[in-house]
Structure 1
Amino acid sequence: MKLQLETPRLLLRPFELKDAEELFELDKNPNVHKYLWQTPVTDINEIYKVIEMVQKQYKERGIGRFSTLLKETGELIGWTGIKFVNDHIENGNTNFYDYGYRLNEKFWGKGYASEATEAWIKYAFNTMEIKTLHAYTHFENQASNHILKKTGFNFMEEYTAEDGVQWNWWQLNQK
């Protein structure tokens, strides 16, 4: 996949195998997983499998999560992006475009998530011509819920997943 997006401070590009070490640093941090499924990665081979899975999504669906880097230093700060969800049901939905992100803890609170989110929204509606973009966040994750609201997503409802965890369901429609 050749797609690459830029913001004033960020470069968003497809996952590459060379990203594995930095993605491993991200995903082994228990604080990063606090509002996820609380299952930090313990073996870098898990990351290689994730990279391969996402690269397969690029080929099959034309989109997926992207490595997100600081333009100034080239440092990978996490991932952001859109994926087409058709492999499971989330809040009664399947076959939908989902926006998500995960940043390394040392990059929290610097506006990077909002900056990337705005770029992805613009790409989704202007280039991909998606009509509706969804997102879901842990109901207690105030930072992520704030970012989605700030960037234009509308809170639709709170729901409980099959594992008993409560999530917020967000939606943004093309204007």
Structure 2
Amino acid sequence: MNLILETDRLILRELKQSDAEAFFAMDSNPKVHEYLWNKPVQTIEETIEVIEFVRKQYLENGIGRFAITSKETNEFIGWAGLKYNTEPVNNKTNFYDIGYRLDEKFWGKGIATEASFAWLKYAFETMNIKTIEAAAHSENTASNKILQKIGMQMTETYLEDSVSWNWYSLENSK
């Protein structure tokens, strides 16, 4: 993919194998996985597999999660982007969702919100997607606030493996 999105502070670009070390540092942090089944990655090989999986989505679906890097320092911050889901989530299939994950040192700086707004604009204006979905662990206050801040509306709560999740949706107004 030759897609690069830019915001005031961020560059959103394809994930690459060269991101593996910084990605692993983020994804091996138990705090990052507190609301993600508490299953941080254990090896760099797992991270490499995730990057390969995402890169495969670029080819199959024309979209996927992208690296977030700082315009100022070029540092890997985390990932954000759209995903086309063909596997069931909340009894739904074949839908686009928006998501993000940041290295802990970048939390609370508005980065996930900034990246998400860029992805919503791309989804609605360039891809002409009708509806974007999202899910957040019911107890993850920060993630729920981000989804609300970008205009997502909580439509229901659902259980997955006895864990409560909030389901969000946003319709394209164009």
TM-score (norm 1): 0.98
Equivalence map 1:49-128=2 (5 Å) = 49-86=49-86, 88-128=87-127
Determine the structure 1 residue equivalent to 2:45.
Answer: 45
Aligned pair 1:174/2:172, yes or no? yes
Determine the structure 2 residue equivalent to 1:132.
Answer: 131
Q: Give the superposition deviation at 1:98.
A: 0.8
Alignment partners' CA distance in 2, 1:10 and 1:73:
10
Q: Give the superposition deviation at 1:73.
A: 0.1
Q: Give the superposition deviation at 1:37.
A: 1.1
Q: Give the superposition deviation at 1:95.
A: 0.2
Determine the structure 1 residue equivalent to 2:154.
Answer: 155
Determine the structure 1 residue equivalent to 2:143.
Answer: 144
1:157 partner letter: E
Alignment partners' CA distance in 1, 2:53 and 2:108:
29
State, as a whole percentage, how many aligned pairs show the same letter. Answer: 56
Alignment partners' CA distance in 2, 1:165 and 1:98:
19
Alignment partners' CA distance in 2, 1:42 and 1:90:
25
Structure 2 unaligned regions, length at least 5: none
Q: Give the superposition deviation at 1:164.
A: 1.2
Alignment partners' CA distance in 2, 1:85 and 1:104:
24
Alignment partners' CA distance in 2, 1:156 and 1:113:
21
SS at match of 1:41: coil
RMSD: 0.5
1:66 partner letter: F
Alignment partners' CA distance in 1, 2:164 and 2:77:
27
SS at match of 1:29: coil
Q: Give the superposition deviation at 1:165.
A: 1.0
Structure 1 unaligned regions, length at least 5: none
TM-score (norm 2): 0.98
Determine the structure 1 residue equivalent to 2:33.
Answer: 33
SS at match of 1:74: coil
2:153 partner letter: N
Alignment partners' CA distance in 2, 1:139 and 1:108:
18
